[in-house]
């Protein structure tokens, strides 16, 4: 097929902090349980098909401590030697195929039922999660605050040893950092609650501590909920200041999510429905952003990136449905420079021939007025 130059930006490399991503497609998982057993689901089902062509692949959430394990053992365990070994194999697979490997540092707060240690979950305030767990968490005192920060630092060191290129702090969806950020859950009256400056204090302390042990030559990111979609939660203007604070603390990119704070939330769903929040943060703060949320087609990615609304687009379901989705998009748009695994080249050639035939047939039909 002839190359369509309007799609060039999708396959152009981008500098993400000190690292280079080969294209704008950021593959993320969808809580599908690849982090569980056997051994660790065959290193995340061969790194979610590492040969699929995307620029970076992110793990499912990685628990940073035994007390943060999830009920169904979905998460990988950064504190577990066996999981670290398998995560290292995952990184090797991705690097072999030219993709960056990203680890998601997760501490569930009241979402975590503490399966290993049978502990009481910890949170900024003694408010239970409104979702699956009704256990009242312990309100974190200063010792808890320091101890959990240490969990994050230890996990970041382990991710570094495993070979990850990127870490990002899972600070959205009502997990611990976001519980400090949102007034919906944070009812503290000390220096960690009240004003936005105070609510930012602990997430920024954690982020800076991770940044201090994470290599300078590897990028670091944070995922935020730009709005809680619920009364009494974070709204758009605050998210800009939250993103600005993390950028000033050294974040190379902000992964812009929304919601999942309360079942009472009223999100406005639709195609690429979270992209306006990415757009605002990118252009008001001047930081690279990752757009996510109901982005399913190359045309959508192209429109978002070309218009300067985000620097990268994160996709989950399209890659679950088709592990070679990025390779297929490259062939459809005539991007011959896209790298394919050598073992797949005959498939690439056949796909390109079939696409060219279809294009020629469509042109003939159009010329004949049919």
pLDDT, tens digit only, all 370 positions of the chain: 566 676 778 888 899 888 998 888 888 765 555 545 554 444 454 545 666 788 888 877 788 888 776 555 556 788 888 888 888 888 888 888 888 999 889 887 766 655 545 567 888 898 876 655 556 788 999 999 999 999 999 999 999 999 999 998 887 777 888 899 999 889 999 999 999 999 999 999 999 999 999 999 999 999 999 888 888 888 878 999 999 999 999 999 999 988 877 778 787 888 888 899 999 999 999 999 999 888 888 888 888 999 999 998 888 788 777 778 888 888 888 888 888 888 888 988 999 899 889 988 888 888 766 5
Give CA–CA dist 250/244, Å, rounded.
10
CATH topology of domain 5-339: TIM Barrel (3.20.20)
Catalytic residue among 44, 175, 184, 202: 175
Query: DSSP readout, 124-193?
Result: SSS---SSS--PPPEEP-HHHHHHHHHHHHHHHHHHHHHT-SEEEEEE-TTSHHHHHH-TTT----STTS
136 is catalytic: no
pTM of the model: 0.87
Structural domain boundaries in the chain:
5-339, 340-370
- For tokens 């998601």, name the residue: 104
Angstrom distances, CA of residue 89 to CA of 82, 85, 149: 11, 6, 27
pLDDT confidence of residue 366: 80
pLDDT confidence of residue 268: 83
pLDDT confidence of residue 69: 66
């Amino acid at each position: 097929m002839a190359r369509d130059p309007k799609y060039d930006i999708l396959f152009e490399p981008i500098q993400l902090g000190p690292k280079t991503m080969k294209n704008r497609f950021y593959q993320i998982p969808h809580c599908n349980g690849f982090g569980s057993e056997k051994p660790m689901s065959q290193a995340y089902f061969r790194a979610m098909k590492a040969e699929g062509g995307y620029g970076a692949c992110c793990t499912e959430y990685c628990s940073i401590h035994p007390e943060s394990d999830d009920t169904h053992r979905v998460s990988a365990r950064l504190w577990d030697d066996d999981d670290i070994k398998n995560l290292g194999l995952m990184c090797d697979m991705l690097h072999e195929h030219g993709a960056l490997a990203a680890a998601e540092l997760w501490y569930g707060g009241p979402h975590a039922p503490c399966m290993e240690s049978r502990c009481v979950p910890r949170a900024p305030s003694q408010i239970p999660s409104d979702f699956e767990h009704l256990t009242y968490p312990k309100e974190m005192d200063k010792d808890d605050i320091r101890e959990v920060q240490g969990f994050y630092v230890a996990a970041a060191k382990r991710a570094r040893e495993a070979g990850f290129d990127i870490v990002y702090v899972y600070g959205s969806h009502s997990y611990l950092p976001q519980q400090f950020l949102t007034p919906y859950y944070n009812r503290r009256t000390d220096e960690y609650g009240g004003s936005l400056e105070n609510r930012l204090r602990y997430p920024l302390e954690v982020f800076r501590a991770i940044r201090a042990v994470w290599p300078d030559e590897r990028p670091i990111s944070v995922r935020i909920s730009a709005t809680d979609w619920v009364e009494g939660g974070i709204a758009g203007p605050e998210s800009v200041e939250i993103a600005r604070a993390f950028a000033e603390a050294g974040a190379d990119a902000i992964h812009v999510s929304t919601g999942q704070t309360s079942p009472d939330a009223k999100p406005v769903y639709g195609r690429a429905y979270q992209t306006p929040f990415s757009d605002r943060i990118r252009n008001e703060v001047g930081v690279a952003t990752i757009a996510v949320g109901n982005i399913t087609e190359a045309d959508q990615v192209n429109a978002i990136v070309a218009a300067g609304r985000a620097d990268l687009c994160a996709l989950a379901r399209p890659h679950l449905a088709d592990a070679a989705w990025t390779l297929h998009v490259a062939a459809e748009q005539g991007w011959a420079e896209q790298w394919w695994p050598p073992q797949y080249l005959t498939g690439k050639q056949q796909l390109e021939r079939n696409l060219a035939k279809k294009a020629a047939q469509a042109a003939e039909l159009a010329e004949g007025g049919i």
